[in-house]
Structure 1
C-alpha cells in the first residue's frame, strides 16, 4: 500500500463525508449523523474478535449516538471512541473489513476528521465555502470633501 492510499485517502474520505453531509439541512444533518455513528459503533460486532467487549463498546457508542440526536458534541465523542476502537482492532489484527488488513487503520485516520467536524457543530462546508469565497462589494471610504 502506498502512503497516499494508507494515510491521505482516509482523510479525504472524512472530508468528503462532511461535504456530502453539508447537503442535509439542520436539524436533520445532526440526527442523520447520530444514526450513522450509532451504526458505526456496531461495525465490529460480527467478527471483531474482542468477544464481550464488542457488546460493551456498542452499548457505549449507542448511548452517545442517542445523546447525539440533540448534541453534536456527543456525536463527535462517539466518533473519537470509534477511532480508539479502530486502533485496538488494528493492533490486534482484527480489521473492520476482514479481507483488507489496513481497513481499521484507515478508519482510525478517517474518523477523527469526522469527529473534529462534529465537535465544531457539523457546519455546512458548502455554506462556509460560499461565504468565504463570495464576491463582496468593494468598500468605499467615507471621505469628506474639505
Structure 2
C-alpha cells in the first residue's frame, strides 16, 4: 500500500514546495527540473546510448517548456514512460531501491497533472476550489433586481 501512496505524497509535497516560487520563475524552474530529470538514469546506463538520446529529448522539451506548463507536463509524462521501461527492465533509478523507478512512475504524473492545470500555487488552488473567490473577498453580496 505504501508503495503506491508515498509516491503520490512525494508528488504533492513537490507541488506544495514549488508553489512558493513566484511566477514566472516557477514555470521556468519546473522546465529546468524536468530537463534534469532526463539525465536521472544516465549513470545506470540501463539502455546504453538511448539514455543520452532520452536526455537530449528532455533538453529539447525543457527548452520549449520554458514558457509552457503543458510542455512541462508532457516532459513529466515522457519521464514516466522512461521510468516504466526501467522498472520493467530491472534497472531502477536508485540501484539499492528496487522499486524506485516504479515510485517515480507514480509520482511524475501527479506533477504532470498539476502542470496541465497551469501550475497554480497552493493558495491559487485553494481559492479556485473554495466557495469564495479572492475577487469576492470583502465585498458584500449584491442584491439581484428583477424587472418585470
Alpha-carbon distance in structure 2 between the residues aligned to 1:73 and 1:133: 24
Cα distance in 2 for partners of 1:119, 1:89 equals 25
Computed over aligned residues only, the root mean square deviation of the Cα atoms, in angstroms, reads 1.9
Whether the aligned pair in 2 keeps the contact of 1:14 and 1:110 (CA below 8 Å) is yes
- Deviations along 1:14-62, one digit per CA (max 9) or x if unpaired, are 1111111111111000000011011111000001311011011001111
Distance of aligned partners of 1:127 and 1:63 in 2 relative to their CA distance in 1, 3 Å threshold: same
Secondary structure class of the residue paired with 1:80: helix
Q: Which runs of 5+ in 1 are unaligned?
A: none
- Gaps of at least 5 residues in structure 2 are none
Partner of 2:90: 93
C-alpha distance in 2 between matches for 1:41 and 1:88: 14
Matching of residue 25 in structure 1 with residue 22 in structure 2: yes
Q: Give the TM-score taking structure 2 as reference length.
A: 0.87
Aligned counterpart, 2:124: 127
When the two structures are aligned, how many residues end up with a matched partner? 141
Deviation at 1:71, TM superposition (A): 1.2
User: TM-score w.r.t. structure 1 length?
Assistant: 0.88
1:114 alignment partner, one of 111, 115, 119: 111
Q: How does 1:9-20 map to 2 (within 5 A)?
A: 9-20=6-17
Q: 1:127: how far off?
A: 2.1
